[in-house]
Amino acid sequence: MAVPEKSTSNNAQVSSTGYKQELKRSLTFWDLLIYGLVFMVPIAPFGIYGSVAQGSNGMVALAYLIGMVGMIFTALSYARMSEAFPIAGSVYSYAQRGINESVGFIAGWLILLDYIFVPALLYLVSAAALHDIVPEIPLLVWLVIFIGINTVVNVVGIEFTAKANKIIVVLELIVLAVFVVTGIVAIVQGVNGAEFTFKPLYDADNFSMSVVMGAVSIAVLSFLGFDAISTLAEESKGGSKAVGRAIIFSLLVVGLLFIIQTWVAALIWPDYTTFENADVAFYQIAEIAGGTWLKWTTILATALAWGIADALVAQAAISRILYSMARDRKLPKFLSKIHPKFKTPYASTLVVAVISLIVTAFFSSKINSLASVVNFGALSAFLFLHASVVIYFIKKQKSKDYVRHLVLPLIGFAVIGYVWINLDPLSKKLGFIWLAIGIVYLILLKVFKKDTSLDLEE
């Protein structure tokens, strides 16, 4: 059977970076796009709507709009680096080859903090939600079910994962469409005093840039996940630009969905100061709009979207990061093992499953602490990403495209830096502890394994 010309070109690009093409190339642009949508979860605002609404003085749609615009700059930096280095390591590989090996390791170490713990966080939140609905089933049982299903799917192959993603994203979009349509009908009927207004997007009487940006620091975390598309670069058959396009388009699509659903919710419950419990505010709004059936539908959809869909793609992403770092001998070599039949990094996938089970057991009553760790890792890695674009293209490649390779990444760095500064103290404390461990590990790696350096082209 003849090898498609584009696949041959992709494999040649991987070979040019010093690696062998081991993972199976089977993902189209649409597979990558759907992967990003599933990771970000089209219905993500369901779970944090109350906090964002209160934090933005009711301008929740504006918070998500600003968040989307801000993250676009990070998406553009991912697009630039994924074109230059179409390999599986994401920000680890980009910083490694864009700056140097040591910085690459630190960037990879920080993104591990995000990707390793995010599946555990998703499993824990979803299991807790279902345990509340069916208390007869222990929390541990839900965790084992979620972790078991996702591990099997990811080991069987990325094609299987892609097919599961399509089913999942369709179901999420159906639930979202039902809520939006039901909500619009409720607004037209004036349920709960609802009426159409632009206040969720801009309310002159309550607008304050500092207040809105504080809410953006919460809302922007709903967008985390678009970057994981870059971890599938060695499994994409759409060319070096397919990953970048998928990253940007997935961010725009999910951002639009976030704005629509939060705007509708804000109109149904105009007074954001009267939420009985901000953590479940969206479900109360769903009940007002459509009744008890819609409330439970949105609750179950949120639990399953995070516990199965989001965690599924998160596990796939982190297994690729571990695989990439292990083949560079920066992590134990066995993590780079590829399944002989399915062509997936099965050893890394199984390790992530075990870690998730351990972490969920430890953080079962400390969900906020776990979320803080995830946020620090992701945003810190994004800062390294933007720096990599500038250093690689402007300094090393002597690029004269100052808009794409200097101005845009600097804006992205400033936006992410602002959000990073506004992270809570616990997030920074736990994050710096993780960073210190990584620095010590890197020093030991250099002392005892001096043969781990790679021949990286300038």
Residue 376's pLDDT band, with cuts at 50, 70 and 90, is confident
Q: Answer whether residue 202 shows pLDDT above 90.
A: yes
Orientation of helix 209-219 relative to helix 60-84, angle to 10°:
50
- Specify the pLDDT at position 13: 57
Range among 57-66, 90-99, 118-127, 371-380 with highest mean pLDDT value: 57-66
Higher pLDDT: 455 or 272? It is 272
Does the pLDDT value for residue 4 go beyond 60? no
Distance CA 174, CA 180 (A): 10
CA-angle at 86, arms to 84 and 89, nearest 5°: 110
| Domains of the chain, earliest start first | 24-448 (1.20.1740.10)
371: CB partners within 8 A, 6+ apart = 121
Work out the average pLDDT over 431-435. Answer: 92
- The amino acid at residue 47 is G
Residue with the bigger pLDDT between 295 and 237: it is 295
Cα Rg of the chain (Å, integer):
22
Long-range contacts (CB closer than 8 Å, 24 or more residues apart) made by 146-153 = 146/307, 146/308, 146/311, 147/123, 147/353, 147/356, 147/357, 148/353, 149/308, 150/119, 150/308, 150/311, 150/312, 150/315, 150/353, 151/315, 151/349, 151/350, 151/352, 151/353, 153/312
pLDDT averaged over every residue in the chain: 84
β-strand partners of 236:
27
Q: What is the pTM of this model?
A: 0.80
- pLDDT of residue 233 exceeding 70: yes
Burial class (CB in 10 A: 0-12, 13-18, 19+), 346: buried
When mean pLDDT is compared over 254-268, 347-361, 434-448, the highest value belongs to: 254-268
DSSP annotation string for 129-162 = HHHHHSTTS-HHHHHHHHHHHHHHHHHH-HHHHH
| Residue 451: pLDDT over 60 | no
Is residue 361 within 8 Å of 127, Cβ to Cβ? Answer: no
Compute the distance between CA of residue 318 and CA of residue 352 in angstroms, rounded to an integer: 8
Do the beta carbons of residue 161 and residue 185 sit within 8 Å? no
Q: For residue 190, name the pLDDT band (cuts at 50, 70, 90).
A: very high
Quick one: pLDDT at residue 5?
47
pLDDT at residue 130 in the model: 77
pLDDT bin (cut points 50, 70, 90) of residue 439 is very high
Enter the DSSP assignment of 341: T
Q: Which residues contact 107 (CB under 8 A, 6 or more apart)?
A: 91, 92, 94, 95, 96, 381, 384, 385, 388
pLDDT band at residue 43 using 50, 70 and 90 as cut-offs: very high
Q: Provide the 3-class DSSP secondary structure of residue 379.
A: helix
pLDDT tens digits, one per residue of 53-93 = 998 999 999 999 998 988 899 999 998 998 888 876 778 88
- In angstroms, rounded to a whole number, what is the distance separating the alpha carbons of residues 163 and 169? 10
For residue 198, pLDDT over 90 is answered with yes
